Each structure stands twice: as C-alpha cells, then as structure tokens.
Structure 1
Amino acid sequence: MRWLCALALLAWPVVGQERPCRQALALGLDVSGSVDSGEYALQLQGLANALRHPDVVAALLAEPGTPVELAVYVWSGAGYQRLIVDWTRITGAGDVASVAARVLGAGRGSAPPETALGRTMIFGAALLEQRAGCWKRTLDISGDGKNNAGPQPQDVRAGLAGTGITINGLVIGSDANTSGDSRAVEIGELASYFGAYVTLGPDAFVETALGYADYEAAMVRKLKRELESLAISALQ
C-alpha cells in the first residue's frame, strides 16, 4: 500500500538543516465532519491564545541559542491534510505573534467528513522529517473522534516506531448537552483510544479538553508540559 511506502521513506536520512533546533513541534487540528463552524473557530482561537500565553511564550523562548520550530496543519479524511503555518523558527515574541495571527487567519476549506487518524499521523511524521536535525520532534494531534477512514492508526504507529518521533494527543469531548458522567465516560474512552493506538514515544501523553470551550486551557497545559520537559532534560 502507498502509505507503507511513505513510512519506509521516513527511514531515509534528510540533509540540509544545519541551524540548531531543540524541538520541532507540528500541530494537527481536526476539521472533520464532527467539527462544526463554531467549534472550528474555537479551535483556532484556542491555539492562537495558547501560543500567546505568557507561560508558553516563556517556554518557547527559554533557550534562544537553540530555538523551537513550529508548524500547524488541519486534517480530516484520508486525502485531506492542509498546512496553514509552514515551519517557523521561534526566536522572539514577534515570531509567536506571527504564528498566532496566521492560525487565526486560516479559513476553513471544504474538508471531507471522515476522521483519518492514521493518515494524519503519516502527514505529520513526514512534516517532522523535514526537521530531522532537531533534538526532539513532536507531533500533536487534536481530535474528537476515532479513526473511520484510511489506514488504522495502530498500524501507522508500528511503522513509525524507531523514527525518534513523539506523538501526543489532545482529545476533545462533545459540547452536546450530556450529563457530566456521560461526558466523562466519553472523554475517558477517547483518551484511552488515543493512548492505545495513536501516541508514540516513552514520554508521550494524552491531554483532555471537556469540550471546544475548554480547548485553549488544555492546549496551554499540553504545550507547557512538552516545552518545559525538554528544557528541564537539557539542564540535566
């Protein structure tokens, strides 16, 4: 299958990146059919605000000699992954503001309704391979549902083992009027699914948002954990 060939190509070394980089961080945002226009806007606003949060900015700029690089894309069905922010080197607050502005300015395209987690993992891994020289490469996948199109995420994860890529998840609960107990069960099941089939790496984790209104706070927690853990490990 073609996706297996794509995974095999990730094993080939990529040359040409010489500038020091402590972390390449690619963020994939779910725009499948389960995400309505209001939730899409909350997702973009939440990410932009999280990037501009003082604690996140401080973590991004903690080691100016070895910056972080960011990229952002949206995804849905097996054939739909769209880059909205290409790799950007974060060397100052202005770079953070620029990324946030581009996220906010990303219009919603005509995306298919399916949720292709395996395919977005392949796309994100290929994106990270462009930054093979970074000390750490992390893929963040936000989603509110399980895979229902394209390759199975557990098969893709097996193919990515040994590449050195970390995959973390941010699962988003439904904003429908459900009881607190039902929502907790739903989020717990989805978090377990991401943990079992999507996340990759010894320090990988799943963050949870109760709904899209909670997405910003969850993204702040996730970014701080990812960025601060790397800064601490660099000091040890």
Structure 2
Amino acid sequence: MALVLAVDVSRSMSYEELRIQRQGYVAAISSPEVLRAIGQGAYGKIAVTFFEWAGNYHAREIIGWTLIGSAADAESVASKLLEGASQGARRTSISGAIDRASSLFETLPFLADRHVIDISGDGPNNQGGPVSEARDKALAKGVAINGLPLMTRGGFGSRFNIDDLDEYYRRCVTGGPGSFVIPVNDWAQFPEAVRRKLVLEIGNVRMQPKIWRAQLLFSKPYDCLIGEKIWQQRQWQFDN
C-alpha cells in the first residue's frame, strides 16, 4: 500500500492541538499494532508520505515517500515527525489537500497495489474547489480516501466548524474501496484513533470491490458546500 497522510494545520486549531496531532502520529506509526499490521501484509512493507495543509496555497511536506518495513524504519519516520513544529495557516481547503495528495502518487518511486489518502481535519472545506469534485476525481483514479474528522472545539477559527463534521466527511470527503471515517470527539482519543485507523488501512480491513460515489446510498441530500456558505456569512469575523 502507498499511503498519503494529509494533516490539517488550519488556524481553527490551537498550537497545543497541533502538537497533540503530531505526537499522535508519532505514537501510532511506531506502535506494535501498526508494525504487526505491516508485517502481516503481502509484502511486509508500506510506502508513506506525510504533509500538512490548510488553504489550497499551503501544503508543507514533512516526510517524502518512505518505505516502512521494520521497527527501525518506523522509528526513523517518527523521529522526523518530532523535528520542528507544525506551522498553522489560514483557511481550510480539503479539496486542495485531496488534489495535492492525489498528485503525489504520480511521483511514487515504488510499485503499490493500493493507493490510499488519509485526510484529517476539524472543519469543512471553505476555500478552493468543491470538495466532492476533488474527491470524485481521486476516486476515478482508483484512489481510496479515508477520513479522521476532528469533532473538537478550540483555536481561533472554530466558529467556522460544523456539529456534524463526521457526516460531512462520510458524505462529501471519503470514498473508494474499503473507505471509512473514524471521528475524534476529544483530543484524548486522538492517538488511539490514529493507531486504529492505520491498522485498518494497512490491514485492508473491510475492503469492498466497489467505489461509492457521493450521496449514492443516502435518501436525503447533504449540502457539501456548507463550509463555503458559512465562510461567506461569517468571514467578516475572521478578517476583523
């Protein structure tokens, strides 16, 4: 599997939350459960890259494509994540993050059976192209997108968040073979949620032979432009 970890660093999160987020990935990547899942795979290794995103103008690569096939590999990746700190930036462009993540597979220096984007964030898309369009373009390439919606409150821009972010991710962001959403309701849950998510992804759990398109299985439509609409209504608060 080739896995892109796309991590939200928009200013709706506080400095402390950004720190918890980095450390959560550090703990998960080097955990015995994740290493066991990697070892039990067909090839005993996965390819990983990690970048942080905010608006569609902000995508900062932290780790380029790297193979993880041993505890030493995982510790090396974890140590790189501990170097420096996350740099927050304005706006939330999930669509930009998906486009960026999808393009990274074009530079993948390894052969992989599966291409997976793992995207986390604490608010809906409010900048760049429509998120469902970016999602569908990635799915058309055979990419699966999993979500880690952060159902938390804090940071300067939290007024632009929505209460049903997990449903938003389920309806507007994620899709593809075996895709899933794991909500985080409290920052104390974050390390365990990341670990569980990686185990599910690496272990190819719940793999399905179909690609589910946006809203195909739902009786009531969901407004995937809710983030853009909230921004238009409240941006004066942010600007001031």
**TM-score higher than 0.5:** yes
Range with greater deviation from structure 2 (152-161 or 87-96):
152-161
Structure 1 runs (4+) greater than 3 angstroms displaced: 63-66, 230-233
Matched with 1:130 is 107
Match of residue 226 from structure 2: none
Taking the aligned partners of 2:162 and 2:183, their CA distance within structure 1 comes to 7
SS in 2 for 1:196: helix
Alpha-carbon distance, 1:169 to partner: 0.4
Given residue 210 of structure 1, which amino acid in structure 2 is its aligned partner? N
1:154 paired residue number = 132
Counterpart Cα distance in 1 of 2:8 and 2:187: 11
- Written as runs of structure 1 = structure 2, the 5 A alignment for 1:55-70 is 55-63=33-41, 65=43, 67-70=45-48
Q: Name the amino acid aligned to 2:35.
A: V
Specify the alignment match of 1:209 in structure 2: 184
The answer on 1:227 being equivalent to 2:235 is no
1:81 corresponds to: 59
- Judging changes above 3 Å, is the alpha-carbon distance between structure 1 residues 154 and 232 closer, same or farther for their aligned structure 2 residues? closer
SS at match of 1:170: strand
1:99 maps to which residue? 77
For residue 107 of structure 2, what is the amino acid of its counterpart? Q
Aligned CA-pair RMSD:
2.2
Q: Secondary structure at the residue paired with 1:146? A: coil
Mean alpha-carbon deviation: is it higher for 112-121 or for 128-137?
128-137
State the TM-score, normalized to the length of structure 2. 0.78
Contact between 2:3 and 2:118, CA under 8 Å: does it hold in 1?
yes
* Structure 1: stretches of 5+ with no match in the other structure: 1-22, 177-185
User: 1:112 pairs with 75, 83, 89, which one?
Assistant: 89
Tell me if 1:168 matches 2:166.
no
Residue matched to 1:24: 2
Specify the code of the residue in structure 2 equivalent to 1:58.
R
The partner residue of 1:34 within 9, 12, 15 is 12
Cα-to-partner distance string for 1:112-136 (whole Å, 9 max, x where unaligned): 3200000000001111232373100
Deviation at 1:162, TM superposition (A): 2.1
- Aligned in 2, Cα 1:118/1:215: closer, same or farther, shift over 3 Å? same
- Mapped to 1, the partners of 2:97 and 2:120 lie a distance apart of 10
Give the counterpart letter for 1:116 in structure 2: S
- 8 A contact 2:114–2:143 mirrored in 1: yes
2:165 matched residue in structure 1: 190
Secondary structure of 2:140 counterpart: coil
Q: Report deviation, 1:153.
A: 0.6
Question: Which residues of structure 2 form unaligned runs of 5+?
Answer: 155-160, 209-240
* Alignment partner of 1:218 out of 193, 197, 203: 193
Distance 1:204 1:85, change over 3 A: same
2:63 touches 2:77 (CA, 8 Å); kept in 1? yes
Taking a change above 3 Å as real, the CA distance of residues 187 and 58 of structure 1, as seen in their structure-2 partners, is farther
| C-alpha separation in 2, matches of 1:103 and 1:216 | 14
User: Is the contact between residue 23 and residue 82 of structure 2 (CA under 8 Å) also seen in structure 1?
Assistant: yes
2:178 and 2:205 in contact (8 A); partners too: no
How far 1:42 moved relative to its partner? Answer: 0.1
* 1:49 and 2:27 aligned: yes
Q: Is the 8 A contact 1:172 1:187 kept in 2?
A: no
1:5-16 equivalences in 2 (<5 Å)? none
Q: 1:161 deviation in Å?
A: 3.0
Q: TM-score, normalised by structure 1?
A: 0.79
